[in-house]
Amino acid sequence: MWDNGSESYGLFEHQLNEFKGIQVTRLIQDYYAADPRRGFYGGGAIDARFDFYPAGFALDGLPDDIPKWGLGYKQAVGEYFTRTMTLLSHATSLPLEKNSISLDPTLKDDWGLPATRITFDLHPDDMATMKWLVEREREILEAAGAKKIWSFPIEVTTSRHLMGTCRMGTNPGKSVVDSFGNAHDVPNLFIVDGSNFVTSARQQPTATIQALAYRAADHIARKARAGDLG
């Protein structure tokens, strides 16, 4: 599963200087729950953030109607960088059986080992969720007084938050680790990260991963004191 999301930007009349504060400054969970009336399954959180340094913003943060070079481009970077606010959603990513990570049967890496092969596609409801959240982002920016709003295309992008592939569960035939992250078929092998998730987070999953790690560590410590670790 993927940390799906959508992103919209708003240009304001006055300087916001979002680059000076902490990266994520505000977060709302108003749209976290799924609602059948929307016609699709899913929801998400929306946070306000600014991920850019000046060079990165100049390359990737400006709207499409800005000149790509010359004086107009330089002036736009100077105006937009200090006056732009970004809204980013973290949305549902439905687990699909066809999505998987495996070893490529022919392709090798630089060390001669089988290369990782990632097979992934978005569920149609994931796409619908992100498009719906873009509309909410634009509504928020408009209500906040943005004089110009633009959004980025809905697509699979890079992410730091990957989930699934080492599913947590009680049935060894349908999961990889137990409720403490202990692999069903390898004694004393504990896997504690986003791969344990059985559904995606609709927000950044780090805090949940940390909670599972503390729980696993406590379990390992108890087993060690009882002499149950090999």
- Give me the pLDDT at residue 216, please: 96
CA dist., res. 103 & res. 174, Å (int):
20
Q: pLDDT tens digit string along 164-198?
A: 999 999 999 999 999 999 999 998 899 999 999 99
What average pLDDT is seen over the chain?
92
- pTM of this prediction? 0.86
Model pLDDT, residue 24: 80
Measured between alpha carbons, how far is 162 from 158 in angstroms, rounded to an integer?
10
With contact defined as beta carbons under 8 Å apart, do 223 and 229 qualify?
yes
46-63 pLDDT, tens digit per residue, is: 999 888 999 999 999 999
- Count Cβ atoms below 10 Å from residue 198 Cβ, excluding itself: 13
Residue 139: count other Cβ atoms within 10 Å of its Cβ.
Answer: 13
Neighbours of 212 (CB within 10 A): 20
Catalytically active residues are: 161
Mean pLDDT check: name the lowest of 39-43, 53-57, 110-114, 153-157. Answer: 153-157
How would DSSP label each residue in 46-102? EEEE----HHHHHHHTS-TTS-SSHHHHHHHHHHHHHHEEEEEEEE-----TT-EEE
Query: Phi/psi at 186 (nearest 5 deg)?
Result: -130, 105
